[in-house]
Amino acid sequence: MNSKNHTNQIQLITYIDRLSGGKINNLHQMLQGPLAGLFDGVHLLPFYPPIDGEDAGFDPTNHTAVDSRLGNWDDIRTLAADFPVMADMIVNHMSAQSPQFLDVLEHGEKSPYWPLFLTKDTVFGEGATAEQISAVYRPRPTPFFTDIALKDGRKVPFWTTFTANQIDIDVNSAAGKAYLNAILERFTENGVKYIRLDAAGYAIKKAGTRCFMLPETFEFIAALSERAKARGMVCLVEIHGYHQTQIEIAKRCDMVYDFALPPLVLHTLFSRNAEALKHWLDIAPRNCITVLDTHDGIGIVDAADYQGQPGLLTDPELDTLVETIHKNSKGSSKLATGSAANNVDLYQVNCSFYDALGQNDQQYLLARAIQLFCPGISQIYYAGLLAMENDVELLQKSRVGRDIGRPYLTADKVENALQKPVVKALCQLIKLRRSLQAFNGKFSQTLNNDQYQLCWQHEAHTASLEISLASLQATIHWQHGGQQAESLSLNSL
Protein backbone atom coordinates (compact mmCIF):
# COMPACT_ATOMS: atom_id res chain seq x y z
CA MET A 1 0.00 0.00 0.00
CA ASN A 2 1.23 3.49 -0.65
CA SER A 3 2.07 5.93 2.11
CA LYS A 4 -1.22 7.78 1.92
CA ASN A 5 -3.57 8.31 4.81
CA HIS A 6 -5.62 5.13 5.32
CA THR A 7 -8.82 6.79 4.12
CA ASN A 8 -7.24 8.81 1.31
CA GLN A 9 -7.50 6.10 -1.31
CA ILE A 10 -9.34 5.09 -4.43
CA GLN A 11 -10.21 1.45 -4.99
CA LEU A 12 -11.63 -0.45 -7.95
CA ILE A 13 -14.65 -2.75 -7.47
CA THR A 14 -14.81 -5.51 -10.06
CA TYR A 15 -15.56 -9.06 -10.99
CA ILE A 16 -12.30 -10.55 -12.17
CA ASP A 17 -13.58 -12.16 -15.35
CA ARG A 18 -16.15 -9.52 -16.28
CA LEU A 19 -13.51 -6.79 -16.50
CA SER A 20 -10.38 -8.65 -17.59
CA GLY A 21 -12.14 -11.14 -19.84
CA GLY A 22 -10.06 -13.85 -18.20
CA LYS A 23 -8.09 -14.69 -15.10
CA ILE A 24 -6.68 -13.03 -12.00
CA ASN A 25 -3.33 -12.49 -13.70
CA ASN A 26 -5.10 -10.80 -16.64
CA LEU A 27 -6.72 -8.35 -14.22
CA HIS A 28 -3.34 -7.80 -12.55
CA GLN A 29 -1.80 -6.94 -15.93
CA MET A 30 -4.69 -4.57 -16.69
CA LEU A 31 -4.20 -2.73 -13.39
CA GLN A 32 -0.51 -2.31 -14.20
CA GLY A 33 -1.18 -1.47 -17.86
CA PRO A 34 -4.17 0.46 -19.21
CA LEU A 35 -5.46 1.21 -15.68
CA ALA A 36 -2.07 2.16 -14.23
CA GLY A 37 -2.02 5.12 -11.84
CA LEU A 38 -5.73 4.97 -11.02
CA PHE A 39 -6.15 2.72 -7.99
CA ASP A 40 -4.68 2.10 -4.55
CA GLY A 41 -6.43 -1.23 -4.12
CA VAL A 42 -9.05 -3.54 -5.61
CA HIS A 43 -12.25 -5.10 -4.26
CA LEU A 44 -12.50 -8.47 -5.96
CA LEU A 45 -16.14 -9.52 -6.07
CA PRO A 46 -16.67 -13.21 -5.21
CA PHE A 47 -14.06 -15.39 -6.88
CA TYR A 48 -15.15 -18.59 -5.15
CA PRO A 49 -16.72 -21.48 -7.04
CA PRO A 50 -19.03 -21.11 -8.83
CA ILE A 51 -18.49 -17.58 -10.19
CA ASP A 52 -21.43 -18.18 -12.53
CA GLY A 53 -23.86 -19.47 -9.93
CA GLU A 54 -27.37 -18.14 -9.45
CA ASP A 55 -26.07 -15.09 -7.59
CA ALA A 56 -22.79 -14.37 -9.40
CA GLY A 57 -20.50 -15.89 -6.78
CA PHE A 58 -22.53 -14.90 -3.72
CA ASP A 59 -23.70 -18.51 -3.45
CA PRO A 60 -20.33 -20.27 -2.88
CA THR A 61 -20.01 -24.03 -2.76
CA ASN A 62 -16.53 -23.61 -1.26
CA HIS A 63 -15.76 -20.25 0.35
CA THR A 64 -12.13 -21.20 0.96
CA ALA A 65 -11.35 -21.95 -2.70
CA VAL A 66 -10.70 -19.89 -5.82
CA ASP A 67 -12.73 -20.84 -8.89
CA SER A 68 -10.14 -22.61 -11.04
CA ARG A 69 -11.36 -20.75 -14.12
CA LEU A 70 -9.89 -17.59 -12.58
CA GLY A 71 -6.65 -18.97 -11.15
CA ASN A 72 -5.64 -19.89 -7.60
CA TRP A 73 -4.68 -18.45 -4.23
CA ASP A 74 -1.11 -17.87 -5.41
CA ASP A 75 -2.51 -15.47 -8.02
CA ILE A 76 -4.52 -13.65 -5.33
CA ARG A 77 -1.43 -13.35 -3.15
CA THR A 78 0.64 -12.00 -6.05
CA LEU A 79 -2.03 -9.41 -6.90
CA ALA A 80 -2.36 -8.42 -3.23
CA ALA A 81 1.36 -7.64 -3.08
CA ASP A 82 0.84 -4.81 -5.59
CA PHE A 83 -2.78 -3.82 -4.97
CA PRO A 84 -4.26 -4.37 -1.49
CA VAL A 85 -7.18 -6.75 -1.97
CA MET A 86 -10.67 -6.62 -0.50
CA ALA A 87 -12.51 -9.95 -0.53
CA ASP A 88 -16.11 -10.77 0.29
CA MET A 89 -16.85 -12.77 3.42
CA ILE A 90 -20.37 -14.08 2.89
CA VAL A 91 -21.44 -14.53 6.49
CA ASN A 92 -25.17 -15.16 6.08
CA HIS A 93 -25.42 -18.13 3.74
CA MET A 94 -23.79 -20.67 1.46
CA SER A 95 -24.85 -22.66 -1.60
CA ALA A 96 -27.39 -25.43 -1.48
CA GLN A 97 -24.95 -27.24 -3.78
CA SER A 98 -22.13 -27.11 -1.21
CA PRO A 99 -20.69 -30.41 0.03
CA GLN A 100 -21.81 -29.52 3.56
CA PHE A 101 -25.46 -29.02 2.61
CA LEU A 102 -25.50 -32.05 0.31
CA ASP A 103 -24.27 -34.09 3.29
CA VAL A 104 -27.17 -32.72 5.33
CA LEU A 105 -29.61 -33.78 2.62
CA GLU A 106 -28.06 -37.25 2.62
CA HIS A 107 -27.80 -37.85 6.36
CA GLY A 108 -30.22 -35.41 8.00
CA GLU A 109 -29.59 -34.79 11.69
CA LYS A 110 -26.79 -37.36 11.68
CA SER A 111 -24.68 -35.13 9.44
CA PRO A 112 -21.88 -33.26 11.26
CA TYR A 113 -23.02 -30.22 9.25
CA TRP A 114 -26.62 -30.27 10.44
CA PRO A 115 -25.93 -27.54 13.07
CA LEU A 116 -24.30 -25.36 10.38
CA PHE A 117 -27.63 -24.49 8.75
CA LEU A 118 -30.65 -22.63 10.06
CA THR A 119 -34.11 -24.14 9.92
CA LYS A 120 -37.43 -22.68 10.95
CA ASP A 121 -37.32 -24.79 14.11
CA THR A 122 -33.80 -23.57 15.00
CA VAL A 123 -35.20 -20.09 15.55
CA PHE A 124 -38.88 -20.58 16.41
CA GLY A 125 -38.95 -24.02 18.00
CA GLU A 126 -41.83 -26.28 17.07
CA GLY A 127 -44.35 -23.50 16.64
CA ALA A 128 -44.07 -20.07 15.05
CA THR A 129 -46.96 -17.65 15.33
CA ALA A 130 -48.21 -15.64 12.37
CA GLU A 131 -47.21 -12.51 14.27
CA GLN A 132 -43.61 -13.74 14.64
CA ILE A 133 -43.40 -14.64 10.96
CA SER A 134 -44.83 -11.31 9.79
CA ALA A 135 -42.32 -9.43 11.97
CA VAL A 136 -39.33 -10.74 10.00
CA TYR A 137 -37.84 -8.15 7.65
CA ARG A 138 -37.84 -9.25 4.02
CA PRO A 139 -35.35 -7.77 1.52
CA ARG A 140 -37.12 -9.65 -1.28
CA PRO A 141 -40.71 -10.69 -1.94
CA THR A 142 -39.87 -14.42 -1.91
CA PRO A 143 -40.53 -16.56 1.21
CA PHE A 144 -37.70 -16.73 3.73
CA PHE A 145 -38.25 -20.44 4.35
CA THR A 146 -37.82 -23.07 1.65
CA ASP A 147 -39.08 -26.62 2.16
CA ILE A 148 -36.27 -28.89 0.99
CA ALA A 149 -36.57 -32.70 0.90
CA LEU A 150 -34.04 -34.86 2.71
CA LYS A 151 -33.07 -38.25 1.33
CA ASP A 152 -35.49 -39.97 3.70
CA GLY A 153 -38.35 -37.99 2.18
CA ARG A 154 -38.94 -35.52 5.00
CA LYS A 155 -39.29 -31.88 4.02
CA VAL A 156 -37.47 -29.40 6.22
CA PRO A 157 -38.10 -25.62 6.13
CA PHE A 158 -34.57 -24.22 5.80
CA TRP A 159 -34.01 -20.49 6.25
CA THR A 160 -33.30 -18.85 2.89
CA THR A 161 -33.10 -15.06 3.25
CA PHE A 162 -32.28 -14.43 -0.40
CA THR A 163 -32.87 -17.43 -2.70
CA ALA A 164 -33.64 -21.11 -2.36
CA ASN A 165 -30.07 -21.82 -3.45
CA GLN A 166 -28.61 -19.77 -0.58
CA ILE A 167 -29.04 -21.61 2.72
CA ASP A 168 -28.60 -19.46 5.81
CA ILE A 169 -25.86 -20.32 8.29
CA ASP A 170 -26.26 -20.58 12.06
CA VAL A 171 -23.33 -18.31 12.91
CA ASN A 172 -23.79 -18.95 16.64
CA SER A 173 -23.30 -22.70 16.34
CA ALA A 174 -19.88 -24.32 16.80
CA ALA A 175 -20.05 -25.44 13.17
CA GLY A 176 -20.89 -21.90 12.03
CA LYS A 177 -18.03 -20.38 13.99
CA ALA A 178 -15.60 -22.96 12.60
CA TYR A 179 -16.82 -22.22 9.06
CA LEU A 180 -16.22 -18.48 9.44
CA ASN A 181 -12.84 -19.04 11.10
CA ALA A 182 -11.74 -21.21 8.17
CA ILE A 183 -12.50 -18.33 5.78
CA LEU A 184 -10.57 -15.86 7.94
CA GLU A 185 -7.63 -18.25 8.05
CA ARG A 186 -7.55 -18.63 4.26
CA PHE A 187 -7.74 -14.86 3.77
CA THR A 188 -4.89 -14.34 6.23
CA GLU A 189 -2.70 -16.90 4.46
CA ASN A 190 -3.13 -15.18 1.12
CA GLY A 191 -2.63 -11.52 1.92
CA VAL A 192 -6.23 -10.23 1.90
CA LYS A 193 -6.17 -6.78 3.52
CA TYR A 194 -9.85 -5.82 3.58
CA ILE A 195 -12.87 -8.00 4.28
CA ARG A 196 -16.34 -7.01 3.13
CA LEU A 197 -18.92 -8.60 5.42
CA ASP A 198 -21.71 -9.38 2.98
CA ALA A 199 -25.32 -9.40 4.19
CA ALA A 200 -24.12 -9.14 7.81
CA GLY A 201 -27.33 -7.45 8.90
CA TYR A 202 -29.27 -10.69 8.41
CA ALA A 203 -26.81 -12.99 10.19
CA ILE A 204 -28.60 -13.18 13.57
CA LYS A 205 -32.15 -14.49 13.80
CA LYS A 206 -34.28 -14.31 16.96
CA ALA A 207 -37.95 -15.17 17.39
CA GLY A 208 -40.22 -12.19 17.92
CA THR A 209 -37.89 -9.73 16.17
CA ARG A 210 -37.29 -8.38 12.64
CA CYS A 211 -34.27 -10.74 12.40
CA PHE A 212 -32.36 -7.80 10.95
CA MET A 213 -29.85 -5.50 12.66
CA LEU A 214 -30.63 -6.66 16.20
CA PRO A 215 -28.46 -5.69 19.18
CA GLU A 216 -27.00 -9.18 18.84
CA THR A 217 -26.18 -8.41 15.20
CA PHE A 218 -24.09 -5.42 16.28
CA GLU A 219 -22.31 -7.70 18.77
CA PHE A 220 -21.66 -10.32 16.07
CA ILE A 221 -20.26 -7.71 13.68
CA ALA A 222 -18.04 -6.20 16.38
CA ALA A 223 -16.69 -9.60 17.46
CA LEU A 224 -15.99 -10.70 13.88
CA SER A 225 -14.30 -7.38 13.15
CA GLU A 226 -12.05 -7.85 16.18
CA ARG A 227 -11.06 -11.33 15.01
CA ALA A 228 -10.19 -9.94 11.60
CA LYS A 229 -8.30 -6.99 13.11
CA ALA A 230 -6.21 -9.41 15.20
CA ARG A 231 -5.12 -10.93 11.89
CA GLY A 232 -4.19 -7.53 10.45
CA MET A 233 -7.31 -7.10 8.33
CA VAL A 234 -9.87 -4.28 8.07
CA CYS A 235 -13.61 -5.03 8.02
CA LEU A 236 -16.17 -3.27 5.85
CA VAL A 237 -19.79 -3.93 6.82
CA GLU A 238 -22.29 -4.12 3.94
CA ILE A 239 -25.81 -3.21 5.02
CA HIS A 240 -28.57 -1.42 3.16
CA GLY A 241 -30.88 0.31 5.61
CA TYR A 242 -31.95 3.43 7.46
CA HIS A 243 -29.24 6.08 7.59
CA GLN A 244 -29.22 6.32 11.37
CA THR A 245 -28.53 2.58 11.51
CA GLN A 246 -25.44 3.14 9.37
CA ILE A 247 -24.26 5.80 11.79
CA GLU A 248 -24.65 3.38 14.71
CA ILE A 249 -22.91 0.53 12.86
CA ALA A 250 -19.99 2.80 12.04
CA LYS A 251 -19.30 3.26 15.75
CA ARG A 252 -18.82 -0.48 16.17
CA CYS A 253 -16.73 -1.49 13.18
CA ASP A 254 -13.82 -0.43 11.00
CA MET A 255 -15.76 0.80 7.97
CA VAL A 256 -19.26 1.06 6.51
CA TYR A 257 -20.60 1.83 3.04
CA ASP A 258 -22.08 5.24 2.32
CA PHE A 259 -25.03 3.80 0.41
CA ALA A 260 -27.02 7.00 0.94
CA LEU A 261 -24.64 8.93 -1.29
CA PRO A 262 -25.82 7.61 -4.72
CA PRO A 263 -29.50 8.62 -4.37
CA LEU A 264 -28.52 11.92 -2.76
CA VAL A 265 -26.11 12.79 -5.59
CA LEU A 266 -28.79 11.96 -8.17
CA HIS A 267 -31.36 14.02 -6.25
CA THR A 268 -28.93 16.95 -6.14
CA LEU A 269 -28.37 16.86 -9.88
CA PHE A 270 -32.00 16.25 -10.79
CA SER A 271 -33.44 18.93 -8.48
CA ARG A 272 -30.48 21.37 -8.52
CA ASN A 273 -30.80 21.38 -4.74
CA ALA A 274 -27.96 20.22 -2.46
CA GLU A 275 -29.64 20.66 0.94
CA ALA A 276 -30.27 16.95 1.50
CA LEU A 277 -26.75 16.02 0.41
CA LYS A 278 -25.17 18.67 2.61
CA HIS A 279 -27.24 17.55 5.62
CA TRP A 280 -26.07 13.96 5.14
CA LEU A 281 -22.42 14.91 4.76
CA ASP A 282 -22.71 16.91 8.00
CA ILE A 283 -23.70 13.78 9.96
CA ALA A 284 -22.35 10.88 7.85
CA PRO A 285 -19.73 8.50 9.29
CA ARG A 286 -16.19 9.36 8.25
CA ASN A 287 -14.96 5.76 8.40
CA CYS A 288 -16.77 4.93 5.18
CA ILE A 289 -16.44 3.62 1.65
CA THR A 290 -18.15 5.90 -0.85
CA VAL A 291 -19.78 4.49 -3.97
CA LEU A 292 -22.07 5.68 -6.73
CA ASP A 293 -22.57 2.26 -8.27
CA THR A 294 -21.72 -1.31 -7.34
CA HIS A 295 -22.54 -4.82 -8.56
CA ASP A 296 -25.98 -4.22 -7.02
CA GLY A 297 -28.44 -1.50 -7.89
CA ILE A 298 -28.83 2.08 -6.72
CA GLY A 299 -30.12 1.92 -3.14
CA ILE A 300 -33.35 3.74 -2.36
CA VAL A 301 -34.03 2.47 1.16
CA ASP A 302 -30.81 4.13 2.35
CA ALA A 303 -32.32 7.58 1.90
CA ALA A 304 -35.88 6.63 2.90
CA ASP A 305 -37.80 7.04 6.14
CA TYR A 306 -38.20 4.18 8.62
CA GLN A 307 -41.04 3.41 11.04
CA GLY A 308 -42.11 7.03 11.24
CA GLN A 309 -38.58 8.40 11.43
CA PRO A 310 -37.75 10.86 8.63
CA GLY A 311 -35.37 9.84 5.90
CA LEU A 312 -32.82 11.88 4.05
CA LEU A 313 -35.35 12.30 1.24
CA THR A 314 -39.15 12.40 1.42
CA ASP A 315 -41.35 9.79 -0.25
CA PRO A 316 -42.35 12.21 -3.06
CA GLU A 317 -38.67 13.05 -3.63
CA LEU A 318 -37.80 9.35 -3.83
CA ASP A 319 -40.70 8.69 -6.21
CA THR A 320 -39.47 11.50 -8.46
CA LEU A 321 -35.92 10.15 -8.24
CA VAL A 322 -36.93 6.65 -9.32
CA GLU A 323 -39.15 7.87 -12.15
CA THR A 324 -36.38 10.18 -13.41
CA ILE A 325 -33.94 7.26 -13.47
CA HIS A 326 -36.43 5.22 -15.50
CA LYS A 327 -36.98 8.15 -17.87
CA ASN A 328 -33.26 8.85 -18.28
CA SER A 329 -32.54 5.19 -19.03
CA LYS A 330 -35.32 5.20 -21.62
CA GLY A 331 -37.15 2.57 -19.60
CA SER A 332 -34.36 -0.01 -19.54
CA SER A 333 -33.98 0.27 -15.76
CA LYS A 334 -37.67 -0.56 -15.40
CA LEU A 335 -37.04 -3.87 -17.16
CA ALA A 336 -34.53 -4.80 -14.45
CA THR A 337 -36.33 -3.53 -11.35
CA GLY A 338 -39.17 -4.88 -9.26
CA SER A 339 -41.47 -7.61 -10.57
CA ALA A 340 -40.04 -7.29 -14.08
CA ALA A 341 -36.96 -9.38 -13.17
CA ASN A 342 -36.05 -12.42 -11.12
CA ASN A 343 -33.99 -12.05 -7.95
CA VAL A 344 -35.87 -8.83 -7.39
CA ASP A 345 -35.01 -6.52 -4.53
CA LEU A 346 -37.37 -4.21 -2.75
CA TYR A 347 -34.84 -1.54 -1.92
CA GLN A 348 -32.97 -0.58 -5.09
CA VAL A 349 -33.21 0.39 -8.75
CA ASN A 350 -31.13 -1.68 -11.13
CA CYS A 351 -29.44 0.72 -13.52
CA SER A 352 -25.95 1.82 -14.48
CA PHE A 353 -25.11 5.20 -12.97
CA TYR A 354 -24.24 6.53 -16.43
CA ASP A 355 -27.72 5.64 -17.72
CA ALA A 356 -29.35 6.96 -14.53
CA LEU A 357 -28.00 10.35 -15.63
CA GLY A 358 -29.21 9.90 -19.19
CA GLN A 359 -25.63 9.40 -20.47
CA ASN A 360 -25.00 13.08 -19.80
CA ASP A 361 -21.20 13.33 -19.68
CA GLN A 362 -21.13 16.67 -17.86
CA GLN A 363 -23.46 15.49 -15.09
CA TYR A 364 -21.69 12.15 -14.84
CA LEU A 365 -18.30 13.82 -14.29
CA LEU A 366 -19.85 16.14 -11.72
CA ALA A 367 -21.35 13.17 -9.88
CA ARG A 368 -17.93 11.51 -9.80
CA ALA A 369 -16.26 14.73 -8.67
CA ILE A 370 -18.71 14.97 -5.78
CA GLN A 371 -17.96 11.36 -4.82
CA LEU A 372 -14.21 11.97 -4.97
CA PHE A 373 -14.57 15.01 -2.70
CA CYS A 374 -16.64 13.19 -0.07
CA PRO A 375 -14.91 11.84 3.05
CA GLY A 376 -13.85 8.20 2.99
CA ILE A 377 -12.26 5.72 0.63
CA SER A 378 -13.68 6.15 -2.88
CA GLN A 379 -14.60 2.93 -4.66
CA ILE A 380 -15.21 3.03 -8.40
CA TYR A 381 -17.15 0.16 -9.96
CA TYR A 382 -15.65 -1.22 -13.17
CA ALA A 383 -18.78 -0.47 -15.23
CA GLY A 384 -18.84 3.05 -13.79
CA LEU A 385 -15.16 3.61 -14.51
CA LEU A 386 -15.87 2.86 -18.16
CA ALA A 387 -19.23 4.74 -18.25
CA MET A 388 -21.02 1.62 -19.41
CA GLU A 389 -24.63 1.66 -20.52
CA ASN A 390 -27.25 -0.77 -19.26
CA ASP A 391 -26.58 -4.27 -20.58
CA VAL A 392 -30.12 -5.07 -21.66
CA GLU A 393 -28.93 -8.02 -23.77
CA LEU A 394 -27.37 -9.71 -20.73
CA LEU A 395 -30.50 -8.97 -18.68
CA GLN A 396 -32.72 -10.59 -21.32
CA LYS A 397 -30.45 -13.61 -21.40
CA SER A 398 -30.12 -14.16 -17.66
CA ARG A 399 -33.40 -12.63 -16.43
CA VAL A 400 -31.51 -11.45 -13.34
CA GLY A 401 -32.24 -7.76 -12.76
CA ARG A 402 -28.84 -6.80 -11.43
CA ASP A 403 -27.09 -8.22 -14.49
CA ILE A 404 -28.08 -5.05 -16.34
CA GLY A 405 -25.14 -3.42 -14.56
CA ARG A 406 -22.75 -6.37 -14.63
CA PRO A 407 -21.41 -6.49 -18.21
CA TYR A 408 -18.92 -9.05 -19.45
CA LEU A 409 -16.03 -7.19 -21.09
CA THR A 410 -13.03 -8.26 -23.13
CA ALA A 411 -9.64 -6.53 -23.14
CA ASP A 412 -10.59 -4.95 -26.48
CA LYS A 413 -13.85 -3.57 -25.09
CA VAL A 414 -11.97 -2.08 -22.16
CA GLU A 415 -9.42 -0.46 -24.46
CA ASN A 416 -12.20 1.02 -26.58
CA ALA A 417 -14.09 2.31 -23.55
CA LEU A 418 -10.93 3.97 -22.22
CA GLN A 419 -10.87 6.09 -25.38
CA LYS A 420 -14.28 7.64 -24.71
CA PRO A 421 -13.93 11.34 -23.76
CA VAL A 422 -15.99 10.93 -20.58
CA VAL A 423 -13.82 8.02 -19.44
CA LYS A 424 -10.60 9.87 -20.21
CA ALA A 425 -11.90 12.81 -18.19
CA LEU A 426 -12.87 10.56 -15.28
CA CYS A 427 -9.40 8.98 -15.27
CA GLN A 428 -7.93 12.48 -15.20
CA LEU A 429 -10.15 13.33 -12.20
CA ILE A 430 -9.08 10.19 -10.36
CA LYS A 431 -5.39 10.90 -10.94
CA LEU A 432 -5.84 14.50 -9.77
CA ARG A 433 -7.61 13.30 -6.61
CA ARG A 434 -4.78 10.85 -5.86
CA SER A 435 -2.15 13.58 -6.29
CA LEU A 436 -3.61 16.07 -3.80
CA GLN A 437 -2.30 15.98 -0.24
CA ALA A 438 -5.22 18.13 0.93
CA PHE A 439 -7.31 14.95 1.19
CA ASN A 440 -5.14 13.80 4.10
CA GLY A 441 -6.68 16.62 6.13
CA LYS A 442 -10.07 17.93 7.18
CA PHE A 443 -13.31 18.16 5.20
CA SER A 444 -15.72 21.10 5.22
CA GLN A 445 -18.62 22.27 3.07
CA THR A 446 -20.71 25.37 2.49
CA LEU A 447 -24.02 25.92 0.74
CA ASN A 448 -25.08 29.47 -0.08
CA ASN A 449 -28.12 29.69 -2.33
CA ASP A 450 -26.89 28.45 -5.70
CA GLN A 451 -23.26 27.80 -4.69
CA TYR A 452 -22.19 24.50 -3.12
CA GLN A 453 -18.58 23.99 -2.12
CA LEU A 454 -16.77 20.87 -0.86
CA CYS A 455 -13.36 21.66 0.67
CA TRP A 456 -10.29 19.90 2.04
CA GLN A 457 -7.30 21.27 3.89
CA HIS A 458 -4.16 19.60 5.18
CA GLU A 459 -1.54 21.95 6.56
CA ALA A 460 -0.84 24.35 3.65
CA HIS A 461 -2.46 22.08 1.06
CA THR A 462 -6.01 22.91 -0.08
CA ALA A 463 -8.55 21.56 -2.56
CA SER A 464 -12.13 22.56 -3.29
CA LEU A 465 -14.96 21.61 -5.62
CA GLU A 466 -17.19 24.61 -6.38
CA ILE A 467 -20.56 23.87 -7.96
CA SER A 468 -23.11 26.26 -9.43
CA LEU A 469 -26.32 24.29 -8.87
CA ALA A 470 -28.43 26.25 -11.37
CA SER A 471 -26.13 25.46 -14.29
CA LEU A 472 -24.33 22.39 -12.82
CA GLN A 473 -21.06 24.02 -13.85
CA ALA A 474 -18.19 23.07 -11.55
CA THR A 475 -14.54 23.97 -10.98
CA ILE A 476 -11.84 22.28 -8.91
CA HIS A 477 -9.28 24.54 -7.21
CA TRP A 478 -6.15 23.29 -5.45
CA GLN A 479 -2.87 24.44 -4.01
CA HIS A 480 0.19 22.39 -3.08
CA GLY A 481 1.75 24.02 -0.03
CA GLY A 482 3.09 27.43 -0.94
CA GLN A 483 2.92 26.79 -4.68
CA GLN A 484 0.73 28.76 -7.04
CA ALA A 485 -2.98 27.91 -6.91
CA GLU A 486 -4.39 25.95 -9.85
CA SER A 487 -7.88 25.30 -11.12
CA LEU A 488 -9.70 23.03 -13.54
CA SER A 489 -13.18 23.42 -14.99
CA LEU A 490 -15.01 20.08 -15.25
CA ASN A 491 -16.58 21.34 -18.47
CA SER A 492 -13.12 21.64 -20.05
CA LEU A 493 -12.25 17.99 -19.51
Residues taking part in catalysis: 198, 238
Q: Give residue 112's Cα distance to chain centre.
A: 34
State the DSSP H helix or E strand holding residue 299, giving kind and residue range, or none if neither.
Answer: strand 298-299
The residues, ordered by sequence, that sit 6+ positions from 396 with a Cβ below 8 Å of its Cβ are none
Shortest CA distance to 15 belongs to which of 420, 394, 424? 394
Taking the C-alpha atoms of residue 44 and residue 18, their distance in angstroms, rounded to an integer, is 11
Q: What is the C-alpha to C-alpha distance for residues 201 and 213, in angstroms, rounded to an integer?
A: 5
Report the C-alpha gap between 437 and 168 in whole angstroms: 45
Give the span between the Cα atoms of 352 and 243, in whole angstroms.
23
Candidates 232, 225, 258, 218; CA nearest to 89 is: 225
Burial class (CB in 10 A: 0-12, 13-18, 19+), 258: buried
Does residue 235 contact residue 253 with C-beta atoms inside 8 Å?
A: yes
CB 353 within 8 A of CB 361: no
Q: What angle do CA 315, 320, 322 make, to 5 degrees?
A: 95
Nearest CA to 486 out of 462, 468, 470 is that of: 462
Query: Are the C-beta atoms of 83 and 42 separated by less than 8 Å?
Result: yes
Q: What is the dihedral of CA 280, 282, 283, 289, to 10 degrees?
A: 70
Evaluate whether 390 touches 333 at the Cβ level (below 8 Å).
yes
